[in-house]
Amino acid sequence: MKTKRIVISGGPGSGKTTLISQLEQKGYACMHEISRDVIKEAQNEGIEQLFLENPLLFSQKLLEGRLQQFNEAEDFSGPYLFYDRGMPDVTAYMDYIHSHYPTNFTDICENNRYDSIFLLPPWEDIYRQDNERYESFAEAEKIYHNLLLGYKKYNYDVTEVPVGSVENRINFILSNLH
């Protein structure tokens, strides 16, 4: 039986990381978001906001990291593997800022397919800005719409996860796996 690759995506501050953490605590295998690591690495090198200063380099690093996660999972044997964001998030963010990117970005997204995409909508009650999350809530809403369009561009059926408790969101996702 082939492992189903499940992406949980959404704009900043929509509850993705909390959801992934809870899935992991329940025994599900998860691939964690890598953008904070890329941001911290750049900050250690003196670049305060790599995405703002060099969005292409930032996006290249994210895409490489997410492709590595995808490839590392080839030998995974469990029924489900959850990802905190997927490769199409990279091109969706680049589209959001109206930035061009190499065709290999698109090729990577088209040639490495996930099985299900769950998108968390913006949720103002839980939204918080911090050192790595600099977008306003209004920007988070726009990013959400770009993510939806970004996944649809690669012909994914996207399932929106309703706001609510973490437990309700997990139950929704688990009951909607194909």
Position 145: which residue type? Answer: H
Task: Tell me the average pLDDT across 134-153.
Answer: 88
Task: Tell me the average pLDDT across 75-96.
Answer: 93
Q: Which pLDDT belongs to residue 58?
A: 86
Contact predicate 80/6, CB 8 Å: yes
Q: Which pLDDT belongs to residue 39?
A: 78
β 158-160/116-120 pair status: parallel
What is the percentage of the chain residues whose pLDDT exceeds 70? 92
Q: Which residues of 15-33 are buried (b: 16+ CB within 10 A; e: fewer)?
A: bbeebbebbeeeebebbeb
pLDDT tens per residue across span 97-125: 999 999 999 999 999 999 999 999 987 77
Ordered by start, the domain boundaries in the chain are 4-175
pLDDT tens per residue across span 156-176: 999 999 999 999 999 999 999
Query: Which residue blocks in the chain are alpha helix, DSSP H?
Result: 16-25, 35-44, 50-53, 55-72, 88-96, 103-111, 137-153, 166-175
| Two tokens, residue 117 | 């995409």
The CA-to-CA distance between both ends of the chain, in Å, stands at 14
Lowest-pLDDT range of 24-38, 54-68, 121-135: 121-135
The CB density around residue 84, as the number of other CB atoms within 10 Å, is 24
pTM of the model: 0.89
Contact predicate 34/62, CB 8 Å: yes
Fold (CATH) for 4-175: Rossmann fold (3.40.50)
